[in-house]
Structure 1
Amino acid sequence: MRWTTAGRTPAAGGVLAAPTSPTSDPSTPGPSTPLEGPAPHAHPADGHPAVAATAHALAGLDATGQVVRLPAGARTSAEVARHLGVAPAAVARSSLLRAPGDRLVLVLASGAHDLFPPVLAAVLGVPRLHPVGEVETVRRTGSLPGCTSPVGLAEPLPTYVDVTLAVHPVLWVPAGHPRALFRTRYDELLRLAAAHPVEIG
């Protein structure tokens, strides 16, 4: 069974508290190429468990966007942003980090904003944060590093979102596969992921 944030709002407790219940009702139009739509050829993201879980969670959370596929030519952050027609800073990337006590933290940062775990650890008030390796990221989230979706996770994870993303009216967020994203707004993203805004550093 996959974890969703339906009926939960961002936790008001400790910085590593598990997510609890979202309530806002955003109205951004969804993207024009949903994952569920027909495709003439198989796409690498089609049938991927993490992508399917993301699409299912977005529907259950009444999200305004859907999972969309990226073409083979969109590989770098700049190419992805150019394809989507947005600034690279509006495309989020995800990082799975480990805090003391084997607590995992999911962080969504702007594609144009470097993530420094020591700085973020100080902001969150924990001694240290270490990046989680590829094998464990796949095992714990079903996704490769950098493309973990903040919704549809197999286990609840405290989630933090870079405040610099808030200046962009449209955000594109990883959907569980390097070539799958979903469209949202900053306020909606906080609701969908039961996330906390945070200054990355």
Structure 2
Amino acid sequence: MTEKRTHPAVERVEAALAAAGVSSDVVWFDDSAKTAAEAAAAIGCEVGAIANSLVFALDGEPVLVMTSGAHRVDTAFLGRVLGGRLARASADVVRAATGQVIGGVAPVGHPASVRTWVDTALADHPVIWAAAGHAHTVFPTTFDELVRITGGIPTPVVGD
């Protein structure tokens, strides 16, 4: 991890966090942390404490699923839970919906509201880490705070 830097997408995330009453503690890495494993190694935490921001299309509408880095979203299961067809969004859809690129998508700081679901497995960790708008950034939060700042709906994302 290194000194504070700046980037327009990160500045939008910091502004959204501040507007939500969250003190912004964005951490910059020297190298990118595009995967949960890379982020966990750089932070020194369990991979399950990484909150991956994944954009899907739910019947064609971009939606955000905040999932634990410890597992993959079961799209068939979650689609049934959400009452529609869930498919991975293209890089272009991700950027249009969030203003950010894959590997650095934050849970906040998007051009418009994105319906969000938050993996209940993240509640197992007292501190979770989410991307802050750039592949070299993360910020610490809690499950309850993540649900609050995203307006997300807690839900399991993996079937039994």
Normalising by structure 2, what TM-score?
A: 0.89
Residues 104 and 136 from structure 1, CA distance in 2 versus in 1: closer, same or farther, beyond 3 angstroms? closer
Distance 1:137 1:87 in 2: 26
Give the equivalent residue in structure 1 for 2:119.
162
Give the equivalent residue in structure 1 for 2:42.
83
Give the equivalent residue in structure 1 for 2:51.
92
Give the equivalent residue in structure 1 for 2:83.
125
Tell me, yes or no, if structure 1 residue 137 matches structure 2 residue 98: no
Matched to 2:155, the amino acid is V
Give the equivalent residue in structure 2 for 1:177.
134
- Would you say the 8 A contact 1:96–1:106 is kept in 2? yes
Matched to 2:47, the amino acid is P
User: Secondary structure, in 3 states, of the residue corresponding to 1:178?
Assistant: coil
Range with bigger deviation, 178-187 or 79-88: 79-88
Q: Which structure has the greater CA radius of gyration? A: 1
**Structure 1 stretches of 5 or more lacking a match?**
1-31
Range with bigger deviation, 132-141 or 72-81: 72-81
Distance 1:140 1:113 in 2: 24
- Would you say the 8 A contact 2:116–2:152 is kept in 1? yes
Superposed displacement of residue 138, structure 1: 1.4
Give the equivalent residue in structure 1 for 2:28.
69
1:75-130 Cα deviation digits (max 9, x unpaired): 65333212212101101111111122x3221001111111121111011122x111
Tell me, yes or no, if structure 1 residue 151 matches structure 2 residue 108: yes
1:138-176 Cα deviation digits (max 9, x unpaired): 122121224321212101111011000001000001111
User: Secondary structure, in 3 states, of the residue corresponding to 1:176?
Assistant: coil
Range with bigger deviation, 60-69 or 170-179: 60-69
Specify which of 19, 24, 27 is matched with residue 60 of structure 1: 19
Give the equivalent residue in structure 1 for 2:63.
105
Alignment length (residue pairs) = 158
User: Secondary structure, in 3 states, of the residue corresponding to 2:132?
Assistant: strand
User: Secondary structure, in 3 states, of the residue corresponding to 1:86?
Assistant: coil
Distance 2:108 2:32 in 1: 26
Distance 1:73 1:123 in 2: 33
Identical aligned pairs, as a percentage? 35
Normalising by structure 1, what TM-score?
A: 0.72
Matched to 1:155, the amino acid is A
Structure 1 or 2: larger helix share?
2
RMSD between aligned residues: 2.0
